[in-house]
Structure 1
Amino acid sequence: MAKSIVYWLALALLVTFSSVASARAETAEDMPPVYYHVDKNGRQSIEQVIDKELNFWDVLNQRAASFGYTSDTYWFHFNLPAADYDRVMRIAYPLLDNVDIYFVQNNQVIQRTIVGDEQEFSQRPISSRNFVVPIATRDSVAVYMKVATSSSMRVPISIWQPTKLLSDEQLVTTATALYFGLIICMIVYNLFSFSLTRDPYFAYYSAYILAIGLLLAGLDGSGYQYLWSNFEWLQSKAIPIFGSIAFIFASLVASHILQTKERSPKLHRGLQGVMVLAGLSFLASILLPYEWMIQWILILAIGAAALLICTGISLWQQGLGYARIYTLALSVLLSTIVINALGYLGLFESFFIQSYLIMLGSAFEIMLLSLILAMRFNENRKERLAAEKRLSSRLEVKVKQRTEELEAVMRKLKEMNKKLEVKSNEDRLTKLFNRGVLDEDLPLEVRRARRTGYDIAIVMIDIDHFKKVNDKYGHPVGDEVLVELARLLKVHFRRAGDRIYRYGGEEFVILMPGAQELGCHDKVLAVMDVIRSHSFKTERGAVKITISAGMSLLNSLPGHVASKHLLEAADKALYEAKNAGRDQIRIARPATDVSDNS
């Protein structure tokens, strides 16, 4: 089911990107001639470039500016004719550091807008992963742009009607969402597989896919828009950081899939070297400026991908079946990386292909690696079946015995869990509920009684002269008496809802929801008669005891009583029974009102 979802997402992704590619060229307005000027020291101001002669400017011959990595500042200039509708300008390259845009009429700046990924995302005039700026006027206007960046100097400018731009952005956003949906599905699927199998390959693969997803989120601006919009520092270093992490896990995945440690120790050491270099690049990316790291990351990406391909080819030649598919997957990804590298270096000008080809390439690679995973699983299954055939019946018996032992252990664990749960709620000696359970049950019953209007009876029982029993016969005999008394109470208080608790020492509490005073009083008297006539058999012979009881009823107490007051009233009635000579019951009769302060 999970794989079917992934395959359908991949197909939808391919179809959507095809639709985007076919639709984009027809929606943007025709651009007027664009001119550029190189500002070597970056100190020129707008006043120094306004109204310059044409020989000051160079004509941009290609459809979009692409000058590779350079420390120079570039000025761009073009004139927009008047229009009877609103317009916006989009710069479809989200990695530019600073773009200072001036709208000029009659040699006067009528509006200035500053954008760039060194600015807070919330400061952008229009929330978009690209730089989208409203045109200041419908009249004819001259546009000047000062661009400085540590990334590649690539400035794809286009003019749009807002509705058409929204349509274009929605289509691209859909394609991007499908891509990241595919990424998320693969991560979840492999993490689930890891949780079931504990095979580290699934964890490595999930981390690799996550790094690829974050890398591409940084490349197309989605990461800055949705994930780390408040962290300009991360945006400025996302490409080298996530690129380094991707190659760390790509090497781990390759070494695990291709079994390089067993099949080719030299190639295994090469992959370990890539991991070391990628790890050092990760640390350097945190500490060093972006412009120092990005070209090194591109070189590392091409070199590492080439080594991974060589590894796949070598093991393919050794007869490893799925190595050829792995080689194909890495070849596709390497091709997209090379195309991107050429574009960043200013040698390739198709911004759309460069922006989204790596998404398609990485999606294709993820799908092929998923196929390898299925092949490897199938191969492992065949190996297990062959191994089972070679195993003797003695091994089968051992497996069965181990299985039975495991089941026995699991049953024992379940039983122990049940016992622990019971023990936490019961008195260890009498097996009745303990005082902690009473403290939880009584407030609940009081609140329920207030809602329904029925009564609650609390009966507190204490053994008369129990200290004499302990002193005469010893505490073990006293414990036997307590256990037997608990049994008698459970036998005779069996009405639905009745609960018996050991309150402490020789005291017991009986909670009787829905009880009436007369019926409850008669029931307690009957139980007292049973206990009085009962011979408690112990190791020291038969023992006779009597009990005293105090009873309180919720509706008999004045005011809005709390559960603790109900318990206190029963306790007070118990002591009245003891003071009156023991072996009798007293019912709490309020002298004053007791209010619930809780």
Structure 2
Amino acid sequence: MTRWPLSRLSTPGRACARIMLTCLLLAAAAVAKADIPELALTAAESQSLGNSLVHVVDSSASLNASDIAGGRVQPDWQPARGEIPNLGLVRDPVWFAAWLESPRDLQRLLVVSYPPLDHLDIFLWHQGQLKQHFATGDRLPFDSRPIEHRDFVFPLQFTAGERYLLLLRVETSGSVQLPASLWEPSRYVEETQHGLLLQALFIGIMLALAAYHLLLFFAVRDVAYLWYVLFLGTFLMAQVSLRGLGLQYLWPANPGFNHQAIPLFFSVGFAVSCIFTDRFLDAKRYSPGWSRALRALAGVGAVIALFGLVLPYSMILFAILVGSTVGSVLIFVSSCHLWVRGSTLAPIFVLAWSLFLAGNILFNLSKVGLLPSNTLTEYLPQVGTVLQMLLLSFALAYRINLERAQREQAQQRNLAMQREANEVLESRVAERTEALESAYDQLKALSQLDSLTQLKNRAHFDEMLAKEWQRHTRESTSLALLLIDVDHFKRINDTRGHLCGDECLRVIAALCQEQVQRSSDLLCRYGGEELVVLLPGTDARGALAVAEGIRAAIAGANFQWQGKPVPLTASIGVAACVPNPGLAADALLRQADEALYAAKGAGRNCTMVYNAAP
């Protein structure tokens, strides 16, 4: 190709060539400028740049700001889609451009309200000169930002009557979104305080719910509450990372971790939510198949979290968006199935999860570019999460009441069974006690019974004497005692034999029993051939009458042994007194014994009454 340098042209020719070249350059510049929309700055508090931006994907990563601003390249600009440009998952650099014309001297803040952008470069050109340039992003330390804020905020200066070319270069491994706007500085400070207040309110609600249910876990030791706390915590950290608060307040000097935080917390949160659903709805009890499916989904979330540490961010983000969307739908389906199978808490869970599901599906679809990004899709997950957590908190409280009611019912059943068992046991114990008491009474009666005469023995007499003595002491009434001794009993034993002596005692006991007729009177064998009669409420005269009746009955008995008559007589000692606290019961017995001794001395077969010496 032959070249024609301008120096070889004549002077008029060179002038004409310069004019033509200038016109061509101006025309080319005009064409380039025509492709980029122009926005007139106003005195409004804020202006959205979304509809005034065009963009181009730099597939070869060869574009630079100076070439674009100088018109040396003509990118194939594409118009923005919606108020917030959203290209979805694009790994190549994306350039955005807009012409800005200022009618007066202005200070504005350029705000890009999407913190998860890896690299963001801002160029402000004026008449081919670069006036301002900022380079930041969430892959850079937080102090790389010109203004410390969770969003990207850049101060811009505009001169009256001038036109400026605004270029923005975005390169990120996540979703390419550019919610850009221009703000009057003082008004933006007020507005950002409102936004920060809402975020603080969201964080406060989540932390309060987490702390409350953590205390419940320590109180009731139910693992479902711990999984709920972990679900709250991981989702809260995911939102904190997504909203830029993590890089601003928690790890400002660690952008590497910040890059991994969003996929890490979202994937772990998804895994925890699956385990929580399984435990909360008691899926293993109502549907073992869905229980295994939920645990498998939790395993998928854990695997994504592990691979997120080594695989590219865009790949992991896509896996999280798809996996969490599909998994959330499966959790919803499983909870509906468990509702049908009779899970008590499933209806509340379905309602709560519906709110969470709607918000997150819209959010995920906006991140892949299938839905436009706007305030609804950005903040609906947080609103849905708060409502979901409040409903789940109510469900957990209802679960406590339900479990308490079930425990109370179980306790009532146990108490009823225990009462029934106690009644049966008490009945058996009563029967056994009655049998034992009867046996004891029989044994006691046998132990207090003289086997030969079938009269009460001396042990029983001693016991009754002590009781009657105390009673008569309280009542100040007379108590009498008869001491009976069979005359010549030893001679009967020696001459007739002990069998005869035993029969004599039985006959005499029967004769005495006939004479002692009152139920309160007590006839006992005192020992050997001696019998004793205790007569409550009887004075000496009455006792003497009873004694004489006994003596006469014995003396008149026609007793024979082996066909031969055996004469029987008895000597009786009588004593009676009104007991007093200073006198022992055996005093009455000694008095009767002295009277008996006197009867023996008087020739036997007689009755003597104790008479105290004057």
Q: How many residues align?
A: 373
Q: CA deviation at 1:61?
A: 4.8
Aligned equivalent of 2:69 = 50
Aligned equivalent of 2:307 = 284
Q: CA deviation at 1:92?
A: 0.9
**Counterparts in 2 of 1:125 and 1:179: CA distance versus 1, 3 Å:** same
Alignment partner of 1:33 out of 43, 52, 61: 52
Q: CA deviation at 1:30?
A: 5.2
Alignment partner of 1:95 out of 116, 124, 128: 116
Aligned runs of 1:185-584 on 2, under 5 Å?
Answer: 185-392=208-415
Output the CA distance in 1 between the equivalents of 2:204 and 2:236: 10
Aligned equivalent of 2:433 = none
Instruction: Report the AA paired with residue 216 of structure 2.
Output: S
**Counterparts in 2 of 1:61 and 1:304: CA distance versus 1, 3 Å:** closer
Partners of 2:287 and 2:341 within 8 A in 1: no
Output the CA distance in 2 between the equivalents of 1:55 and 1:384: 73
Output the CA distance in 2 between the equivalents of 1:239 and 1:51: 39
Partners of 1:35 and 1:78 within 8 A in 2: yes
Instruction: Report the AA paired with residue 84 of structure 2.
Output: A
Give the TM-score normalised by the residue count of structure 1: 0.60
Q: CA deviation at 1:347?
A: 2.2
Partners of 2:48 and 2:180 within 8 A in 1: no
Report the identity percentage.
27
Task: Give 4+ residue runs of structure 1 displaced > 6 Å after superposition.
Answer: none
Aligned equivalent of 1:16 = none
Instruction: Report the AA paired with residue 241 of structure 1.
Output: L
Aligned equivalent of 1:110 = 131
Output the CA distance in 2 between the equivalents of 1:393 and 1:379: 21
Partners of 1:258 and 1:323 within 8 A in 2: yes
Q: CA deviation at 1:350?
A: 3.5
Instruction: Report the AA paired with residue 73 of structure 1.
Output: P
**What residue ranges of structure 2 are gaps of 5+ in the alignment?**
1-43, 422-614
Output the CA distance in 2 between the equivalents of 1:55 and 1:315: 56
Output the CA distance in 1 between the equivalents of 2:81 and 2:286: 53
Aligned runs of 1:138-153 on 2, under 5 Å?
Answer: 138-139=159-160, 140=162, 141-153=164-176
Instruction: Report the AA paired with residue 233 of structure 2.
Output: L
Partners of 2:282 and 2:343 within 8 A in 1: no
Output the CA distance in 2 between the equivalents of 1:318 and 1:292: 38
Q: CA deviation at 1:54?
A: 7.4
- Are residues 1:86 and 2:103 paired? no
Partners of 1:220 and 1:355 within 8 A in 2: no
Q: Which moved more, 1:62-71 or 1:77-86?
A: 77-86
Q: CA deviation at 1:62?
A: 2.5
Output the CA distance in 2 between the equivalents of 1:189 and 1:61: 44
Output the CA distance in 1 between the equivalents of 2:420 and 2:155: 77
* CA distances 1:505-563 after superposition (whole Å, capped 9, x unpaired): xxxxxxxxxxxxxxxxxxxxxxxxxxxxxxxxxxxxxxxxxxxxxxxxxxxxxxxxxxx
**What residue ranges of structure 1 are gaps of 5+ in the alignment?**
1-25, 399-598
Instruction: Report the AA paired with residue 384 of structure 1.
Output: R
Partners of 1:313 and 1:327 within 8 A in 2: yes
